[in-house]
Structure 1
Amino acid sequence: MKRADVVIIGSGVGGSAVAWQLAGTGLDVLVIERGEALPRELENWDAEAVFGQLRYRAKETWTDGDGHRYRPGQYYFVGGHTKFFGTAMFRFREADFDELEHEDGVSPAWPIKYRDLEPYYDLAERLFGVRGAAGEDPTEPSRSHDYPHAAIPDEPVVARLRRLLQAQGLHPFHMPSAIDFGDGGRCVRCATCDAFPCRIDAKGDAETRLLRPALQKGAVRLMTGARVTRLVTDASGRRIEAAIVETREGTQTIGGGLFVLSAGAVNSAALLLASKNEKWPRGLANSSDAVGRYYMNHNCTAILAVDPRTVNDTRFPKTLSVNDFYFGGTHDRWPLGNLQMLGKIREPMLRGVMPYMPGVALRYLADHSVDLYAMSEDLPRPQSRVELAADGQIRLAWRRTNLKPHERLVRQAKRMLKDAGFPLVMSRRFGDDTPSHQCGTVRFGADPSMAPLDEQCKAYDHENLYVVDASFFPSSAALNPALTIAAQALRVGEHLRAAIGASPASVGVPPSSQGDRHVS
């Protein structure tokens, strides 16, 4: 058996942030990634390749709650989904950590408060090089420090929209963005950022900002093309002893003292369920029967505001966001959500949702549209869950919530765009096959009968297992999750560093293992 002191499963934001914290501790840390490094190629910035051919999307299929098979928007590469994200790095609002009433039910409180994460939000913003402007958004939470870099300036079309929204009494603010922009920066405003991979490393993703620095420190290793299919416990069932890994060379067993699961909300839950044994017949970390349940994914709608008089040649539009409707307030009794710019729409993106329209018409729409993204909170329901079929295939039964407030948010957005002078405003809701903001399937909480994880993301049922990705979210809020995942992962990583400094055994790493590092 090969082994490492710490085995991290997944190289996205959560796994890479923990690896960054553990680098230099003297422990042998192994990061296992099922994908490979994303290739640098011309197709990275080709809309036809990315959206028309789905060149980078995983080829696996899942089934929905009705048994229909589909190909989900999953991406398996070093750095996880951040290789394709739109660089948005929002802090959740302070009220997002408390119980919050919605029209469709209650968003539950977190076992930690905003103040517990604030120092780690600050650290994450510095590590990711987030650019923003504090003080513009009335819903913005308190901050101990300003953004590490100034906000990315608007291009002319977005600047004009900002002025028009301000004239309506709204408070558009500069969207916080993790991108290496400005003097000496890598960003060239390629016009293919949101949902595209960056072939010049200008995007602040988990690989470039966390994992590579961790690897450079030494004692952190990366295994790619390796899918963990099962976790194995000892006879007591309290400790994880090994991970069973499918690689190009065949099946390997990798032992470890500490295991950090960061495979994404769907796959982390699926792996725990697939690892059931006699001690844990419902799956690991699952005495609460909550593993796989409470799946959430934001209600999201793309809104295209078309002005035939103006060609939108904006190359990086994601510089504007609006939270005036976030908590409802004077606009609504109930929280509605966030509005932000989409990456510039291209004809191949529209083709999949409007196959009945000729290409020339789609290109016209894309050339003349200003594109927004409406996002509303999805509430946790036990019936929304990840399950495994008899053949091991993932079944994702998602029952959407809060759709009426989301529809009102879209109507508000359409109204403000028409008032801003756009004669044609269209919208299309994202389908269930886009799980880009998946969360909640292995949630943390103070009551082990209701939640699999404690506030440090350690499994109540196992002494050496942590789950650190968006699985731990008890609620989804209505903002992009990446920065909150990073903040909590850095918090957990610091906790592990402190515990390792006191006693390796206190975090599940047997002292004898520190001199026994055989994984290559």
Structure 2
Amino acid sequence: MVDADIVIIGSGVGGGAMARSLAGSGARILILERGERLPREPQNTDAEAVFVQRRYRAPERWLDGAGQPFQPGQYYYVGGHTKFYGTAMFRFRERDFEATEHADGISPAWPIRYADLEPYYAEAEQIFGVHGQAGLDPTEPPRSGAYPHAAIPHEPLIGKLAAQLAGQGLHPFHMPSAVDLHPGGSCVRCGTCDAFPCAVGAKGDVETRLIDPALLHPNVTLQTGSQVLRLLTDARGQRIVAAEVMHQGQLQTVRAPLFILSAGAINSALLLQRSASAQHPRGLANSSDSVGRYYMNHNTSCLMGLLPGTVNATRFTKTLALNDFYFGSGAAAEALGHIQMLGNIQEPMVRSAMPLLPHWAGRLMTRHSVDWLAMSEDLPHCDSTIRPLADGGAQLHWQRTNMATHGRLVARTKALLRSLGFPLVLSRPFGLDTPSHQCGTVRMGADPAQAALDPWCRAYDHPNLFVVDASFFPSSAALNPALTVAAQGLRVGEYVRKQLHTF
């Protein structure tokens, strides 16, 4: 038996933000993480190990909607998926919090507005040490202050492309990035931020920016190797009283008056469903029947612009983004989405996606390519579900939406790149096994008949349960979600701190 005042399940962005926010409260906080700390080792920056051998990916097998098995792109480490993210730290735009009509349906309004999150966006940017420059992107929302660090300068080739885009009347801007790349910083500009763990700790990930600072407080404990199997309620089924945890092969019961579930959009939904009881046959926090539904994952494509006569020597490419097509322009324009730079694609990355491609061809392509990411909004669909299987696995059915819109964004991006001088542009969409910002499976809303959580991420069915990770998203927008999860985590953390005596 283990007791705490607050149990936080998961050490990703949401759990990390809650831990850091509550660390000074004096409450006994126990963070349960199913994985371990990711080791710093030569394989951290080895594309062969990361992409071909899949050294860090969880060895799980799920089923897709047709019942076919696949290995999901899940990573279980302290810091969650931020150990592999590309450091992008965008604020959602004001209109992202409002209902928006798309060709395939409505992107629903959030129960909060941008103004509710703005001070916490600013706090999160300070914590993560975000680089950026305000005032260049016409879709940018109002800010209460400047970025903590100046924008990372473009390297020569990227700077040339930015100037060309501006020359066409577009508005390229410096991508907001959480990396320690400034005078006195620890970044060595190795060029392997995107999709790789940082070998020198310079990436602004959750482990370094949220979990480790929280652990400086004597009342905060991190227990790794601890997979939560079920949440248990009292006899009336109203309050969460304990978690069943498998820790190093031993079953533990962890009791607390307050539980924060932050296992990620997939595993939070699965855990709530696996915790079904006589009072809650569809799972906990699920009187609305929304848990495990409305799964979203951005429609995302990689584009390789090839320059046969130019070797791309850029080390840190992720400095450029474009939102001119995000909302469109004019009354009838279609909201297409967002464009940003990818990290440099290496030959093993190409081979992992196209195993039959000769090594020499992959090396030639990646030597002369400049790599981009096109991202469109995926809409919440009630038939997009994640469901637990009896064998402990899961079945993910993704009812994809807005794919025609995404196709138009990709076509627009290809035409744009050709106008910049790329004679050949290749594209490839990301599939089900790529976690392109999973969200929406335990959504928040103002109506408990339609949503599992209230605007503070508190479960309508259980007053001492909060769910704080990307599962709370009512819509996905078309921007990287990490900063929004962190901002809401800080907002909810402040709320919980003020309410601690009530739990």
Same fold flag (TM > 0.5):
yes
Q: For the superposition of Structure 1 and Structure 2, which TM-score range results when normalised by the shorter chain?
A: over 0.9
Which ranges of structure 2 fall in alignment gaps of 5 or more residues? none
Q: State the alpha-carbon separation in 2 of the partners of residues 173 and 340 from structure 1.
A: 10
| Alpha-carbon shift at residue 332 of structure 1 (Å) | 7.0
SS in 1 for 2:125: helix
Cα RMSD, aligned residues only: 0.9
* Structure-1 residue corresponding to 2:307: 307
SS in 1 for 2:363: helix
SS in 2 for 1:329: coil
Q: State the alpha-carbon separation in 1 of the partners of residues 323 and 362 from structure 2.
A: 30
| Alpha-carbon shift at residue 333 of structure 1 (Å) | 2.3
Q: State the alpha-carbon separation in 2 of the partners of residues 157 and 209 from structure 1.
A: 31
| Alpha-carbon shift at residue 249 of structure 1 (Å) | 4.1
* Structure-1 residue corresponding to 2:294: 294
Range that drifts further, 377-386 or 330-339: 330-339
For residue 433 of structure 1, what is the amino acid of its counterpart?
D
* Structure-2 residue corresponding to 1:387: 387
How many residue pairs were aligned?
503
After superposition, residues 113-512 of structure 1 pair within 5 angstroms as 113-330=113-330, 333-500=333-500, 504=501, 506=502, 508=503
* Structure-1 residue corresponding to 2:76: 76
| Alpha-carbon shift at residue 330 of structure 1 (Å) | 4.7
| Alpha-carbon shift at residue 355 of structure 1 (Å) | 2.1
Which ranges of structure 1 fall in alignment gaps of 5 or more residues? 509-520
Q: State the alpha-carbon separation in 2 of the partners of residues 292 and 249 from structure 1.
A: 28
Residue identity over aligned pairs, in percent, reads 62
Q: State the alpha-carbon separation in 2 of the partners of residues 83 and 256 from structure 1.
A: 29
Q: State the alpha-carbon separation in 2 of the partners of residues 339 and 361 from structure 1.
A: 26
Q: State the alpha-carbon separation in 1 of the partners of residues 392 and 332 from structure 2.
A: 44
For residue 55 of structure 1, what is the amino acid of its counterpart?
R
> TM-score when scaled to structure 1?
0.96
Q: CA deviation digits over 1:54-89, x for unaligned, max 9?
A: 100000111111001100111000000000000000
SS in 2 for 1:352: helix
For residue 166 of structure 1, what is the amino acid of its counterpart?
A
Contact 2:300-2:436 at 8 Å conserved across structures: no
Q: State the alpha-carbon separation in 1 of the partners of residues 170 and 368 from structure 2.
A: 24
* Structure-1 residue corresponding to 2:32: 32
Range that drifts further, 420-429 or 351-360: 351-360
SS in 2 for 1:316: coil
* Structure-2 residue corresponding to 1:512: none
> TM-score when scaled to structure 2?
0.99
Q: State the alpha-carbon separation in 1 of the partners of residues 25 and 301 from structure 2.
A: 44
Contact 1:81-1:436 at 8 Å conserved across structures: no
* Structure-2 residue corresponding to 1:20: 20
For residue 186 of structure 2, what is the amino acid of its counterpart?
R
Q: CA deviation digits over 1:138-163, x for unaligned, max 9?
A: 00000011101100011111111111
SS in 2 for 1:217: coil
| Alpha-carbon shift at residue 498 of structure 1 (Å) | 1.2
| Alpha-carbon shift at residue 325 of structure 1 (Å) | 0.2
For residue 79 of structure 2, what is the amino acid of its counterpart?
G
Q: State the alpha-carbon separation in 2 of the partners of residues 249 and 222 from structure 1.
A: 17
SS in 2 for 1:227: strand
Q: State the alpha-carbon separation in 1 of the partners of residues 440 and 331 from structure 2.
A: 29
Q: State the alpha-carbon separation in 2 of the partners of residues 121 and 495 from structure 1.
A: 16
For residue 401 of structure 2, what is the amino acid of its counterpart?
T
SS in 2 for 1:20: helix
Q: State the alpha-carbon separation in 2 of the partners of residues 354 and 33 from structure 1.
A: 34
For residue 210 of structure 1, what is the amino acid of its counterpart?
L
For residue 206 of structure 1, what is the amino acid of its counterpart?
V
Contact 2:231-2:244 at 8 Å conserved across structures: yes
